[in-house]
Chain A
Amino acid sequence: MGCGILWNALCFRLFFVVFMDYFIELLFSGLTRGSIYALIALGYTMVYGIIGLINFAHGEIYMIGAFTAFIVATVLSIYGFPILAIIVIAGVAAAVWSSAYGYTIEKIAYKPLRHAPRLSPLISAIGMSIFLQNYVLLAQTSDFLPFPALIPDFEFMEPVAHIVGSSDLVILITTAIVMMILTYIIKFTRVGKAMRATAQDRTMAMLVGINVNKIISATFIIGSALAAIGGLLIASHIGQINFYIGFIAGIKAFTAAVLGGIGSIPGAVLGSLVLGLTESFATGYVSSDYEDVFAFSLLVLILIFKPSGLLGKAETKKV
């Protein structure tokens, strides 16, 4: 830092401030990235928690949410709607449309295979993912589309904008709220109770009068709506969408869900944040060339010592 050999308090302070600033910047960058993963990872983990299926088409639901929000937002901005109205209407439209997709996918591709061996629905999910990607490619476009910046630059954020931007803040807060609402639903409502019962033992849940099909559909609808909201926020943050965004984001979010313990709601968020922070610090202090190397080395390490993930429950075999 140009301090020379003379080591004095001022110099130390200068070094400290410069060092800490960069650390805090990277911290927020990692938290934002983690929250982005979390918004998608929550859907993966919910579905897995209930029916033990890795819904590979979830990334595509996120992508469809982003496309729906794009179309609605573009149309509304032509008619000169205020920005807040655009966010709300586009968000609701995307959530409803994506939920419809999620619901339909479950009915078409997973429900008929519910009693099939575990691999069959997995392959069906991969097929669904490829199908939806190509469907959007053909029905929309293969080009990158400019997504409007729906989250404006808030004025009160300007002094710290170089560290944490407005859209970062919105994503962080949304992820926190969504996680709390989900935890509330699952812990304290009737639907949540039914979900937990279905997760524990599907046959028993049916015997005590729970409509298992309805509960599974509800899970898909909630998960898809979350992905759609994630799609809107993330696309607005990055500023571009195409048919392929769901695949890459989906893989990372899936990794985060496994890291945190698939099936666990707080686990998905924790796993996402750990993954996001690892990537951010690896880029910041080592090299972005090794970003993925660090992220996946961490995954392997954690799974070696805690095979069910950070907050996952160990699967007990009923003998």
Chain B
Amino acid sequence: MFRYIIRRLIQMIPLLIGISILVFLLVHLSPGDPIRMLLGEEATGEDVARLNAVYGFDQPLPTQYFRWATRAIKGDLGVSIRQTIPVNTLIFERLGATLELAIVSVLIAISLGIPIGIFAATRRGSLWDYLSMIVSLIGVSMPGFWLGLMLLSYVALKVDWLPMFGRDASVLNGLWVLVTQFRADVLLNALRYVLLPATALGVSMMAIIARLTRSSLLEVLGKDYIRTAQAKGLKHRVVVIKHGLRNALLPVITIVGIQFGSMLGGAVVTETVFAWPGVGRLVVNAISQRDFPIVQGGVLMMAIIFTFVNLLVDISYALVNPRIRYD
């Protein structure tokens, strides 16, 4: 297993280099001069040239890339053109918010998706089965940001204790206060803020999990060992949960890992809708302001996290299924 992990880590190096080149090119091949935009139309050519030199934009592209990549490896992603704050600081201040949003979304998706899937599978062919699958199908087809807008107008506006925008304390901080000071107010307040954006982001994943749990459980429930368990006289609930679900959840766990990455992509828009102070919103704002270093750093960071999450999924799958390790 250790060798498998090392091999996968080594395989990641060229991918990470590729990611960095692509991110760099995407930002640097774009039309429009960011310095000209920053200084305005009245700035003289000399002013623009001087600031271009300060940011190194006057150098050839390969030189700019190597300088940027070498610094990025050391953790220096440059300085924001607009805010003159290190991009690192801006990203790390917001990374927690994005990860929190994605993790709470996944938790909501799992805690609703799996029960819905079991419910539908154990009542196969019934009205409830059809209804839950129709709801899941609609959930898969729904853009998360639109659901966010709907939650804002039909829930947040009507329920006083649900705030419309922003974020207060982090959930982690709330948990810490709960454990150390036995006070739940900070946690509850954090949950109030995260509930709607996380629901908007998590519904499509919930729907995918529900559909997959249903089909996977149906497949497992048709196996011989389930019939044996039933023949032994075990209760239906024990057969479904202990014998069926345990085996049916493997593909579900895989999809949770894969989908976590797409949560990061979806978070970009959800954060914009709910004014959630995460990396996604930072990147979207930076795009409109043509703040290259932030866009570069933000997209790079998201892609790296995405790649590592995928690696973790692969490793956990290899732990469960030893055949993968020897491919």
A binds B: no
Binding site for A on B (CB under 8 A): none
Binding site for B on A (CB under 8 A): none
